[in-house]
Structure formats: structure tokens, C-alpha cells
Amino acid sequence: MKLVTARQMRALDRRTIRDAGVPGHVLMERAGAGVAAAIEDTFGPVKGKTVTIFCGKGNNGGDGLVVAHLLRRKRADVRVCLLAQARDLAGDAKRMYRRVAGGGGGARVACVPSADLMRRLTRQSHILVDALLGTGATAAVTGRYEEAIHAMNAAGVPVVAVDLPSGMHADTGAVPGAAVRASLTVTFGNPKLGLFLGSGVDYAGRVRRVDIGIPERYVEAMRLPITLLTPDAIRSWLPARRASSHKGTFGHAGLIAGSPGKSGAALLAAVAALRTGAGLVTVAAPAGVQARLDARAMEVMTLPLPETKDGTLSRRALPQLRAFIQSRTSVGMGPGLSTHAETAGVIRTLITQCDRPTVIDADALNALSGHTRILRARPRPAVLTPHPGEMARLLDTTTDMIARNPLGAARDFARAHAGIVVLKGARTIIAHPGGRAAISPTGNPGMATGGTGDVLTGVITGLLAQGLAPWEAAQSGVYLHGTAGDLAAEVYGHAGLLAGDLLRFLPRAIMRVLHDGDRVPVPDAAGTHGR
């Protein structure tokens, strides 16, 4: 599904009205109907409930007025706070106002209400609807609109944002001042980029899309480069498991990982590759780490390698590593390797020589700091999986700078270094060297814990071993990894979630995607992680 900027969505609306002959008020009515349906789907029947709807004077306010009319017909007690005089409304919004404020049981409308009245109404409500600004906010909200936002946020009841939480920038998710903290955002046509970037993730709540009838051919004609990942796309890429298959059918994933005190990172990545479907997995690790890996994962094979006096990979391991790579279908390198100077040199050599589909993560990324030019010397593009701190080191900038424009940072690095970048975050971004990008809607705050990145490395390496192209493997891996985290959070919650919990839910994440989102059984919370 294509993501759009505010300008692009306005262009799609205009073309639909002009070329497809759909009147603007029809689009507005469809949008409002979608919000009304989403409210009942999420919070139950509105009959007898008090719903207060905050409307601005533009089209977003017009959408809100449609919602007011429809909820009133469903026997809700509807109040409208219109932050304008009725005479200031124009076009379709004015048309909807006349419908709402007309006689015969219309909703109660307060024009330009005081801050006291807004606070009183929000405290008396079961549900609030934000139809103040939508995609129209480009600077900090002030005045009466700011007072309305504060009243909604302080009410302690669900808030439904119409198209976009008011106060949020539609393109970047930036919140320069006050903004509505929505429980649910119902967005129209194509989802807006800001809902999945920056602070937008915190303010949007659950995001639901409503089809208002924008012809898909108009969307395709715009050649939009940013995609929101969906189960349909992932399903089409996952390899079939034919009855005649054997372990060799699904590839042999190799992982170069581990050092003293960090054998767990190697183990997480290895088991993740198996849980994602790789036929065989071998971890190449320093000899002192190999024994610990053998003792903890029966299904994982190991290759002991020469080590430095500190127990990390030695340059003497290079001949064995070259042979190791040649006999593997895919290679993941980095989890738990350490930043030892000699080990970093080994990894840089391997990065330039490895001709297998490759994932570069963690300490392998650290080894690239100041040496990113070598990525262009690779025989094929690699998949790089940095978190914002690692991305900042690769670009010789600060984490704050990455946070201000993660999409731009990922796309620029991918183009400049001919690689696929997976920039991890609340909404992980996958960037292609050709300029395309994708954002995954899966994942949750419980995954902000050590080791989940190692699991992602194993997932992508496992998919590469099964023959997925790097671009599809990166997108599929991110989506499945986040889905596993979401399934695990249903059992463990967020605060207590561990990276190892994801391993147990990866097969169920795949089942959920393959079975079109149907509920799949979840395991009992008891048991050992990853087994």
C-alpha cells in the first residue's frame, strides 16, 4: 500500500473529483461514514453514549460534521464544538453543517466554544472525535485550537482522530507543539507518511484506513516510492513448502557471530534463521564460544575458529571463513562479534569478498564506521540492519539527526552505498538503492530490548537462504519479526518481553501471514525460550 504526503493526497482528491466525476461532498460523506463505522467497530454501539466532536472550519471539520450526523442517527448523544462561526464555513463543510445543525433532532453545536465549555464537554463524554485540522497543520497549533487539543488529551477517554491527529505534520510525524494523542486514527484514501514516522507513532494510536473511492490507477500513475508493508505482499514472497522438500531445499544459512560474554547474540540469530525456515544453520564462532553454543542449541551446527588473546575472531581465521562462506547459501555477520580491532579488520575483508547474499548487523556495522566506501566493492548488494545509533556512526552524525529524518537517512545511505538499509525503530524503514522504501506497521515497545536485533538478523539470513531476493527478504523479515513481537506481547505484555520470546512466535507469525491474518493459536507462556 502506497504512503502519501499531504500534497500528494490533495492531488489524488482533486483528480478524483475532476477526472472520475466524484463530487467532493461524496468523498466527504464516505470519509465520515468510515469514521463512524470505525468508532462502532472499535468501541461498540454508540447508542446512549455521549460523543463530542471537535471540528475546524476546513474539510477535516466537514468530515467531522458527517460523523456527527451519522452518530446522531445511531442514537448517540452528539455534541459538536465548532471552532469557527457558521458563517465562516464554505463549500462542502458548510453543506454538512446545515445537515447537522438543522431542526428535527440535529446535534447540538457550540460555535467558538470557550476553554471552560470544551473542558466540561470532554469530561462528560464517552468518546471524543478530533476533526480540527487533519493534514492542514504545518506549524505549532495556538489559540483556541490548542485549548481544544489540551482538553481532549486531558479527558481520559478514547479520542478518534479524523485522517490525522491535529497538530501532527502529515509528512514527517513531527509535533512542533500541542497535538492530539489519539487512541485510533481513521485515515482516508492512502495512509499519510507522518503516521508511521517520528512522533507520529506515539500520537496516532491504532491506524485504520478507509477507502473513499480514489481510483487505484491514479495512485499508480503518481509512481509513489514509499510503501506500507501488508500481509498480501509478504505472503506472495514467502517460499512454498512442497511435500517433496528436504532440508537442502531451504538452504544453508551461515552466521559469523559471537565472542566471550556475547554467545547469546549468536544463538538468537541462529535459532531465528531456523524458525524462519532455513534448512540448515551453522555458526562460525571463536573456538572458546563454540562449546557454549553447542551446549545450548541442539539444532544449530558450529564451526570453531582461531581466536585472539581476548577470545574474539582472529585474522588467522580468514582462510576457514572464506571456505565457510563458499559452502553457504546466505551469510549473516555481526551479532556479538565485539569491536576488537583485529576482528573488525577480518569483517571488513569478508565484506568485500563475500559473494553470497549477506546481512551486516551489529559489530559488523561498527567495523564499517569510517570504511563505508568498501560496500561498493562488494560483488552484490548487502542488507544492512542498523539501529539509529549505528546509522549515526555510519554517517558520522548524531542519533538526534537520524531521528529528525530517518526516512531520508536510510534512503540516502542506500543510494550512496548500493545496499539495502533496514533502519530499525518503532516503525522500521527498509530502503532500496534505487530510491524505493517501505515501512512496516508491525512491532511494539516491548521489542525495545537487547537481542531483538539479533533475531532480525537471523530472520533475514534465513529468508535469504531460502532463495528470497535481498529486497524481498529484508521487507519480509522485518514484517515477520514485528508480527512475532506483537504475538508475543499478547502473552507477555510489553515490559517483560524478551528477545527469546520472539523465537517461539516466529512460526506463528508466518502462519498469520499465510492464512490472511486469521487468528492462530499462541503457545502457553510457560516453557524455555526458543525451544
Say if residue 210 is in the same domain as residue 284: no
What is the average pLDDT across 330-334?
98
**Domain-located, residue 64:** yes
pLDDT at 525: 42
Q: What is the DSSP string of 76-111?
A: -EEEEEESS-GGG--HHHHHHHHHHHSTTTPPEEEE
The domain that holds 394 is classified in CATH as 3.40.1190.20
Provide the CA 110 distance to its chain's centre, in angstroms: 39
Mean of all residue pLDDT scores within the chain? 94
DSSP 240: P
Residue 106: pLDDT band with limits 50, 70, 90:
low
User: Which range marks the domain in which residue 421 is found?
Assistant: 247-514
**Domain-located, residue 446:** yes
> What count of residues does the chain have?
531
Select from 477, 476, 486, 472 the least CA-distant residue to 453.
477
Contact partners, residue 109, CB within 8 Å, separation at least 6: 79, 80, 82, 86, 97, 100, 101
Count of structural domains within the chain: 2
Examine the pLDDT at 266 and tell me if it is beyond 80.
Answer: yes
Say if residue 47 is in the same domain as residue 194: yes
Q: Are 382 and 325 in contact (CB under 8 A)?
A: no
Say if residue 292 is in the same domain as residue 147: no
Examine the pLDDT at 190 and tell me if it is beyond 80.
Answer: yes
Q: Which residues pair with 431 in a beta bridge?
A: 421, 437
**Domain-located, residue 233:** no
Say if residue 422 is in the same domain as residue 466: yes
**Domain-located, residue 234:** no
Say if residue 285 is in the same domain as residue 216: no
| Final residue before a domain boundary, out of 190, 224, 258 | 224
Say if residue 167 is in the same domain as residue 274: no
Residue 528: pLDDT band with limits 50, 70, 90:
very low
pLDDT at 504: 96
Report d(CA 330, CA 289) in Å as an integer: 22
Examine the pLDDT at 529 and tell me if it is beyond 50.
Answer: no
Say if residue 290 is in the same domain as residue 204: no
Helix (H, G, I), strand (E, B), or coil: what is residue 437?
strand
pLDDT at 291: 86
The domain that holds 38 is classified in CATH as 3.40.50.10260
The residue whose grid cell reads 525495545 is 448
Residue type for position 38: A
Residue 517: pLDDT band with limits 50, 70, 90:
low
Say if residue 58 is in the same domain as residue 99: yes
Beta-strand (E) ranges in 92-244? Answer: 108-111, 127-131, 159-162, 184-188, 206-210, 226-228
Report d(CA 358, CA 256) in Å as an integer: 11
* Model confidence pLDDT, tens digit, residues 300-330: 999 999 999 999 999 999 999 999 999 999 9
Helix (H, G, I), strand (E, B), or coil: what is residue 178?
coil
pLDDT at 103: 55
Say if residue 280 is in the same domain as residue 220: no
**Domain-located, residue 445:** yes
Contact partners, residue 134, CB within 8 Å, separation at least 6: 56, 58, 59, 60, 63, 162, 163, 164, 166, 170
**Domain-located, residue 177:** yes
Say if residue 506 is in the same domain as residue 432: yes
Say if residue 209 is in the same domain as residue 259: no
* Model confidence pLDDT, tens digit, residues 453-469: 999 999 999 999 999 99
Residue 527: pLDDT band with limits 50, 70, 90:
very low
Report d(CA 334, CA 311) in Å as an integer: 15
Contacts 24+ apart (CB under 8 A), 110-114: 110/79, 110/80, 110/81, 110/82, 111/82, 111/84, 111/85, 111/86, 112/82, 112/83, 112/84, 112/85, 112/144, 113/81, 113/82, 113/83
C-alpha neighbours within 13 Å on the C-beta side of residue 86? 13
Say if residue 74 is in the same domain as residue 16: yes
**Domain-located, residue 524:** no
Q: Which of 17-21, 419-423, 512-516 shows the lowest mean pLDDT across its residues?
A: 512-516
Q: In 10 A of CB 89, how many CB atoms?
A: 23
DSSP 224: -
Q: Are 17 and 23 in contact (CB under 8 A)?
A: yes
* Model confidence pLDDT, tens digit, residues 437-453: 999 999 999 999 999 99
* Model confidence pLDDT, tens digit, residues 375-433: 998 888 999 999 999 999 999 999 999 999 999 999 999 999 999 999 999 999 999 99
What is the average pLDDT across 6-34?
97
Task: Give the whole-number percent of the chain exceeding pLDDT 70.
Answer: 96
**Domain-located, residue 238:** no
